[in-house]
Amino acid sequence: MAHQVRRTSARLADGREIIYFDDETETRSPRPDERPLGARAEAGEMRFDALTGEWVAVASHRQNRTFLPPPDECPLCPTGRGSVPSEVPDPAYDVVVFENRFPSFSEGAADLDSPVPEPLFATAPARGRCEVVCFTSDHSGQFAQLPPARVETVLEAWVDRTTELSRLPGVDYVFCFENRGPEIGVTLHHPHGQIYAYPYVPARSRAMLERAREHRATTGRLLGSDVLAAEVAAGSRLVLESEHWTAYAPYASRWPVEVHLVPNRAVPDLPALTAQERADFATVYPQLLRRLDRFHVAPTAVDGDATIPLPYIAGWHQAPVNVGREDWRLSMQITSILRAPGKLKYLAGSESGVGGWVTDVAPEAVAARLRELVDA
């Protein structure tokens, strides 16, 4: 039986949409947002880098976004939980999604006043949408500790938003992701993720699509499926397997800790997952995150070795909205810059300068460590 979620849409004081995804059966009557917010912020422009063929969004208004507020002023907690009204007017929620108050892309991005006279300086409105996804109302919670039913609700929110955002005019790619940990650069500690609806296919996704197209033209098969089969056959980089999902540390890992979680069945995006695959993910993914949170240990003077919550970025690589869907295979990529307790992997000269990656940890060692860390 498919997981049942109740979806309720409302508007915040500045007109931004807020959507509640509840795993309860009661009908929700959203409370009005009574904050004096004024006009909503809209995104600005994109500029084209003629040297690399990549778009760069210029979002100067994001300099003023909320930065590490005290817990009682958290804008992601339910209103009434802290000392000030938050982005969520209601006093309780399961999972909630709302348009970002400081967006990099927005539907209301203004048309440009006049074309740039220099042809090498192409520009375009940063038209798209940016959303925030709150995984839980518990400010001190974490995704790894969510019960399976709540993980399914988060997944249903990702599915819903992928479907809806893909329908927006001009949107070419939808990316659901979570940043966790101050080392990653999070500005809010409340457990949450984001969704970007881009008006173009981002550079890494475009490169992945080109490789997948080349592979299909040469072999007639999906590159993602062949990579999964090769990793299963090799075995040394496998982390865990379930009926519907497989996790492995990729052969050419770039990051000190990198794991790919992929469905065993070839699907292009999140909406294509079956009810059984979604239910299995709700168990497998938190288990993987709990292993990652025990990957690093550090000695302490009082209690002996202590685990270190892993700073990570987890993101869904979905098929582009309008091109290459027949060549794509859904996957989640989880990466961490923490190479050892107290030591970060900095993207220094080689990586930042020319994109020449050097990894600090062999993926076989990462996989072996994660295989050991089964749930107690």
DSSP 276: H
Are 321 and 264 part of one and the same domain? yes
Give this prediction's pTM.
0.96
pLDDT tens digits for range 104-133: 999 999 887 777 788 899 999 999 999 999
Active site residues: 192
Are 87 and 233 part of one and the same domain? no
What pLDDT sits at residue 67?
81
Task: For residue 2, name the pLDDT band (cuts at 50, 70, 90).
Answer: confident
Question: Exposed, middle or buried: residue 151 (CB in 10 Å: 0-12, 13-18, 19+)?
Answer: buried
What pLDDT sits at residue 304?
57
Are 180 and 61 part of one and the same domain? yes
What pLDDT sits at residue 303?
60
What pLDDT sits at residue 197?
98
Residue 1 inside a domain? The answer is no
16, pLDDT greater than 60: yes
Question: To the nearest whole number, what is the mean pLDDT of the chain?
Answer: 94
88, 98 contact by CB (below 8 A): yes
Are 74 and 168 part of one and the same domain? yes
Are 232 and 146 part of one and the same domain? no
Work out the average pLDDT over 185-195: 95
209, 324 contact by CB (below 8 A): yes
What pLDDT sits at residue 27?
86
Question: Exposed, middle or buried: residue 281 (CB in 10 Å: 0-12, 13-18, 19+)?
Answer: buried
Domain that holds residue 92: 6-31+41-203
pLDDT tens digits for range 70-117: 999 999 999 999 999 999 999 999 999 999 999 999 999 988 777 778
What pLDDT sits at residue 302?
57
> Domain boundary residue among 137, 169, 203?
203
Task: For residue 20, name the pLDDT band (cuts at 50, 70, 90).
Answer: very high
> Domain boundary residue among 203, 228, 244?
203
Work out the average pLDDT over 136-160: 97
Max avg pLDDT among 56-65, 232-241, 342-351:
232-241
Residue 36 inside a domain? The answer is no
Are 20 and 94 part of one and the same domain? yes
What pLDDT sits at residue 104?
96
Work out the average pLDDT over 224-239: 98
254, pLDDT greater than 70: yes
Are 287 and 172 part of one and the same domain? no
Per the structure, the count of domains in the chain is 2
What pLDDT sits at residue 176?
98
How far apart are alpha carbons 96 and 250 in whole angstroms?
A: 33
- Percent pLDDT > 70 in the chain is 98
Tokens of 6: 């109740």
Are 221 and 269 part of one and the same domain? yes
Are 93 and 172 part of one and the same domain? yes
Give the CA radius of gyration of the chain: 21
Residue 80 inside a domain? The answer is yes
Task: For residue 192, name the pLDDT band (cuts at 50, 70, 90).
Answer: very high
Are 263 and 173 part of one and the same domain? no
55, pLDDT greater than 60: yes
Task: Write the CB contacts of 359 (distance below 8 Å, at least 6 apart in sequence).
Answer: 253, 254, 255, 256
C-alpha 322, offset from chain centre: 20
305, pLDDT greater than 60: yes
What pLDDT sits at residue 153?
98
> Domain boundary residue among 203, 230, 260?
203
* CATH code assigned at 179: 3.30.428.10
Question: Exposed, middle or buried: residue 81 (CB in 10 Å: 0-12, 13-18, 19+)?
Answer: middle
Work out the average pLDDT over 155-168: 98
Task: Write the CB contacts of 304 (distance below 8 Å, at least 6 apart in sequence).
Answer: none
C-alpha 41, offset from chain centre: 23
Are 226 and 296 part of one and the same domain? yes
Angstrom CA distances, 198 to 61, 202, 218, 258, 340, stand at 18, 8, 30, 25, 34
What pLDDT sits at residue 307?
83
